[in-house]
Amino acid sequence: MNVNVCELQSQEEILEAFPVMKQLRTHLDEMTYLDLVMEAKEKDMFRLFALYDQEEIVAVTGCKPMITLYYGRFVWVCDLVTDRSKRSNGYGEQLLTYVHKWASKNGYETVALSSGIDRIDAHRFYEEKMEYDKVSYVFKKTLDI
């Protein structure tokens, strides 16, 4: 098995990951996705990593380093998705483990994420397979601007 993780830098690399990311972020079209990733990379230290198997992207994660009083220095996983046709092959575990190692190597104490309330399989994965603790609820309010 020829599996490796790479950080996606160029617009071409970022666009190559869109078909997998679209499976999680179904509301995004390709140009909105590209614009958001490029802006987040420029302004918010966002990083996009892809797990390749045989030169094919099979999983993608977007994450960013942050500092808060609650978590201290940590990495927030914004997105984590494995191609639906490639699930249950350990790709999500490999990619999230890569984020853990990257975070630790770069001096971050914690990795945190939120998961949609109805994503029961994902919750089981985070809690049972990856040993995450459920520590809070995330609330969201859409503003009229």
Question: Pairing state of beta strands 72-82 and 3-7?
Answer: unpaired
Report the Cα–Cα distance between both ends of the chain, in Å, rounded: 49
For residue 15, what pLDDT is reported? 98
For residue 20, what pLDDT is reported? 98
For residue 39, what pLDDT is reported? 98
Tokens describing residue 47: 């990083």
For residue 145, what pLDDT is reported? 87
Tokens describing residue 13: 């690399």
Q: Helix, strand or coil for residue 139?
A: coil
Please tell me the CATH code under which domain 3-129 is placed.
3.40.630.30
Q: Which residues of the chain have pLDDT under 70?
A: 1
For the purposes of burial, counting CB atoms within 10 Å of the CB of 105, is it exposed (0-12), middle (13-18) or buried (19 or more)?
exposed
Closest to 81 (Cα-Cα) out of 37, 106, 48: 48
Hey, where are the domains in the chain?
Answer: 3-129
For the stretch 35-51, pLDDT in tens is 999 999 999 999 999 99
